[in-house]
Structure formats: C-alpha cells, structure tokens
Chain A
Amino acid sequence: MQRDIAIVAQAQVMTDSLDIPRERMLFDLVKGLFDKVGITRHDIDGFVLNSNDFEVGHTIANVFEDTPCGAYMKDETHVEADGMWAAQYTTMRLLSGNYDTALVVGNSSGASTFRPYLVMDYQLNPTYDRQLGILNELSTAALQARAYMAKYGAEEDDFNEIAARLLRNAALNPYAVRSKADATAGDVLASDYLYEPLRQLACYPFTDGACAMILASGKRAKELTDKPVWIKGMGNSVDTYYVGERDLATSKSARMAGERAYKLAGISNPAKQIDVAEVSAKFAYQEPIISEALGLFKEGSAGKVASKGLADLGGSMPVCPSGGGLGAYVFTANGLVRVAECVRQLKGEAGEAQVSGAKTALAHSQDGFCAQHNGVMVLSTEEG
C-alpha cells in the first residue's frame, strides 16, 4: 500500500432489543470511543458512515446519524453496502493523503424496526425472482447449503458442529446477543428447521447495534495508540447477481477478494501466515464455503475441520473466536464488526477468546444473496 494506515481503536454495542433511540446509541458509542482515545470530534478529518435505508426506515439513512457521530459541519460520506466497504473506503481516503484521522461507523436498528429477511426480499430482482415468491434469504441459503453438501458429501451435522462452536465462542464475547457456553451439535439439531437444512441455531440472530472505528495515517496512529493495527491488504470481488448463474457450492468471489488482499499483504500461504480469521457467515454452512475459498482450509473439508477442531480457539486456524455472525449479526455493520474483532485480537484485548500470539488476522465481509459480494482485509501488528 502507498502509505501506512492503521486502525487506532474500535468500539461496539449490540443488543437483541434496542430500547434507546438509534441516535443515542450512536452518540454514546462514538463519544465513548473519542474519550477512550483522548480526542474530540474536531480531531477527525473524515467521517464515513454506514447503514441501510430499509433497515433504518427512511432513505438516506445517514442523515440522522451525522450529528450523533460528531460529524456536524465535517467532511462526511455514506456507504450503504456492508460495513467493510466503509472501512475499505475510509482506508482509501487516508491513502489519498488528504486525510489523516478518520472515523468509520456502521449501524443497524433492523432487528427492532424491520424483520431483516424482508429487507433481503426487496433486494430481489422484481421482474423475475420476486414474481414466483420462491426465492428469499432463507431459501437461497438452503439451496446453497444443499449444493455444498452434494458437492463434497458434507452432512447437516457438520454445519451443526460449526454452529455449536460459534455459539460456544459467542459465550466468550461480551458483545454477543446469543450464545451457549456448552453448546453441542445436538443443541443445534434440537432447534427447529427454518428451511431444511437450516436449523434456527445455525442462522444469524436479529441484532441491533453499531461498530465504530478510528483509522489514521501511520504517524498519527502512533501518536494515538501504543498498539496500532496495521492494514496490510484489502480486496473485494463481486459475483453475478442471479444465484442461478453461480456455482453455489464454492465462492469464486471470496477467493478472488482474498487473492487481491493477499497480494497487497504479501501473503502466499494464508493457512500458515494468518493466525486468526473472522469470517462473515450469516448461516453456519457459509463458513466452510468462505474459509475454504480464502485458502484457510482444503476445499470440501467442513467435516474434517469440525471433527478435528481445526477452527476451534485452540485449533490450527481459529475462525471467529467472537462467535461470528451466529453470536450477533448487525445487518450492514457485520463486516465492520469482523474487522473490529480482528483488532481486539491483535491488540490482545479479546479476553478468554484471545488467540495467543496473534500477529496477522483476516477479516471477511459479504453482501447480497448467498454472499454475492465478498471483501477481505488483512491486518497485522507489524508496521510496514
């Protein structure tokens, strides 16, 4: 990258039932972050906000977010897609050299204002997909899960094992809204099917919340924190919109997003060089598709990864020590939360979920049906 850029600090808030206005949630979160870092809103020269009009319930969702985030009369812009795109956009603004200290904030109150599955319905193509009323977020997910199972001989139980691990990890994450410290695949099996083979506990919980992060140029970052988290590489890739034009069992766009980020970060063997990964999966079955595409595990290895505990906290390639999208899924901000969780890991602030000695982390994000659009950021404790 042309200029060293680092993440200075992060803050998160999540709930399954928001009882304060969204504006208050954002004010408390962002002001708290400024106070923690010891700066004021006037130290920020670029604000990037991230939210979804549908979920918030009015268009140009950011108009009510600006002043709670401290952006009154400041340089502000908005990203409607997943929060990682906001983080990547913020990084690019810093790379331009025109900004030195930036704030990115992603949020959603979708769980309390609007059923997130419905939001996805309105992402469907109105002239074909919506006409028959067959495709929706859950049916497309079930189709994708089934495609992976058929291609690699995976079983529903493999996905239930993944879900159980994520729910156990979520119990170590203070921000998670759903968790179970002793979760087993049997617990997941005992939950109802939403669409076969998707068990309720293997699907994301509706979550309200926000994530804020301060990014800065290298020099500025070192003034603001003893532990900057350096952005080493980033990439994204978008597949064709229509799920009927894709190989659902694999994710070419996740692979390409990863390759672009790895190239910038100088990563040639991700499974070896990455110490911890935070993958955006809305459903347990998505985790193997994505982490395999990112080169963290061998293709079609979901069963083996689960039975050998390779993705566990103490495994060879810990995935989502935070519990990922099954512990909390703030629609829109989820990819940003994955970055924030990598920051917690690399700063050594992940508590009981800490991957010891983590130096390089991968954050992944997705957007669209069956993860049409994928983004990756590679972060490191080491400068340069």
Chain B
Amino acid sequence: MTFEMGEETREVQGTWDISTYKYLIDGAGMKLLVDSMKEKKIRGIKCPQCETVYVPGPTFCRKCYIDIDEVVEIGETGVVMSYAVEMADVRGNPLEEFRLTAMIKLDGADTWIIGTISGMDWHDARIGMRVKAFWVDEPVGSLADIDRFEAI
C-alpha cells in the first residue's frame, strides 16, 4: 500500500518577534556631531596622517588604522554628490509628495552626510548643485536638528 501524498505545499502562520535591541553607538564621534548640532554647528574628526575629515566622525581612521580625535568645524554649505527621489515608501505605498533625498559633501568634509532637499522641483535637481543646511528653530542635539537643505 502506498500513501497518497496529495498537495505538497501548505501554509502555516508564523511571526518573527525579534524583541527590542539595545545598540551601543560610537558615543564619542556621534556625541561630537549631535552636541555641535545643538549649537547649529557641524563638527567632524580629522585624521592627522591622511588628513581625511570624517562626518560623522569615527574614532579611528579606516585607512590609517589609528585612533583619531582632532575636531574640525565643517561648513553648513556643501555640494550634492548624488540624489534620489522617493516616490513610494519601503512597503511599496506610493507617496503623495515625492521626497528629494541627497548625499551631501559639506565644505571641509571628505565624507558625505544624508539630508532632504526642499523648496525645489526634483526634476531640477542635479549632482554638483550647491546646497545649504537650514536648522530647526530650537535644536535639541539630535540628527533631526537639520530640518532640510535648500539649493543656493
């Protein structure tokens, strides 16, 4: 006698409850950045060996593999290195208003920060465009203290 196998595929419900994570961040480098943002300033860390200026600043140089701690003040203007237009969220829901997001190399920095560009039609955006940071009225020392960037 053989067993009648029937359909091989069935569904059972499953969830993936991965609880809450506690991440330890690079306190020194990130603190430097958010503390400076509270004063509406942007500060990074410079490697004394290769002179790379990192924003946000890590506490060691990727290339030279040494500890770094030289604080440098960065401009609040910079250049768009690349941009993307968000038309749907990550779950696939279309957005009513498209969002222009960009990677911006601030004047005096070698690495790029992320930001949103407002006040322009995304069709007019271009790489190489100069932008300026606009702050929230009352910065609290958070990455959200930069409200937006605008073309200058």
Residues of A bordering B, CB below 8 Å = 18-24, 27, 31, 40-41, 54, 57, 67-68, 70, 72-73, 109, 112-115, 118, 122, 126-127, 130-131
Contact = CB atoms under 8 A, between A and B. Distances in A.
A73 B59 CA distance: 19
B10 to A, nearest CB: 9
Interface stretch (B16-24, B81-89, B116-124): B16-24
B63 A72 contact: yes
Contact of B65 (A22, A24, A31): A31
Nearest to B30: A21
A252 B37 CA distance: 60
B126 interface: no
A40 B61 CA distance: 14
B25 A115 contact: no
A24 B14 contact: no
A23 B21 CA distance: 17
Nearest to A22: B24
Given A24-B26, A126-B14, A127-B12, A57 B21 contact: yes
A40 B16 contact: no
Nearest to B14: A126
Contact of A70 (B12, B22, B65): B65
A114 B12 contact: no
Contact of A40 (B25, B26, B65): B65
A208 B25 CA distance: 15
Contact of B21 (A18, A21, A113): A113
Contacts of B24: 18-22, 109, 112
Given A23-B58, A112-B22, A122-B18, 16 more contacts: A21-B26, A21-B27, A22-B24, A27-B60, A31-B65, A54-B18, A68-B60, A72-B62, A72-B65, A112-B24, A113-B22, A114-B18, A115-B19, A126-B14, A127-B12, A127-B14
Indicate the member of B18, B19, B25, B65 with the most A CB atoms within 10 Å.
Answer: B65
Range for the number of chain B residues in contact with chain A: 10 to 19
Contacts of A130: 14
Nearest to B16: A122
Contacts of A112: 22, 24
Nearest to A41: B65
10 smallest beta-carbon distances between A and B, as pairs: A57-B21, A126-B14, A67-B62, A72-B62, A21-B24, A21-B26, A113-B21, A41-B65, A27-B60, A70-B65
Contacts of B18: 54, 114, 118, 122
A330 to B, nearest CB: 16
A54 B16 CA distance: 12
A16 to B, nearest CB: 14
A21 B25 CA distance: 5
A27 B62 CA distance: 10
15 contacts: A21-B26, A21-B27, A23-B26, A41-B65, A54-B18, A67-B62, A68-B60, A70-B65, A73-B63, A113-B21, A113-B23, A114-B21, A115-B19, A127-B12, A131-B12
B19 A118 contact: yes
Nearest to A112: B22
Nearest to B66: A31
B25 to A, nearest CB: 6
A57 B19 CA distance: 10
A22 B59 CA distance: 13
Nearest to B25: A21
Contacts of A19: 24
Contacts of A41: 65
Nearest to A64: B26
Contacts of A109: 24
B19 A114 contact: yes
Interface string B55-76: 0001110110100000000000
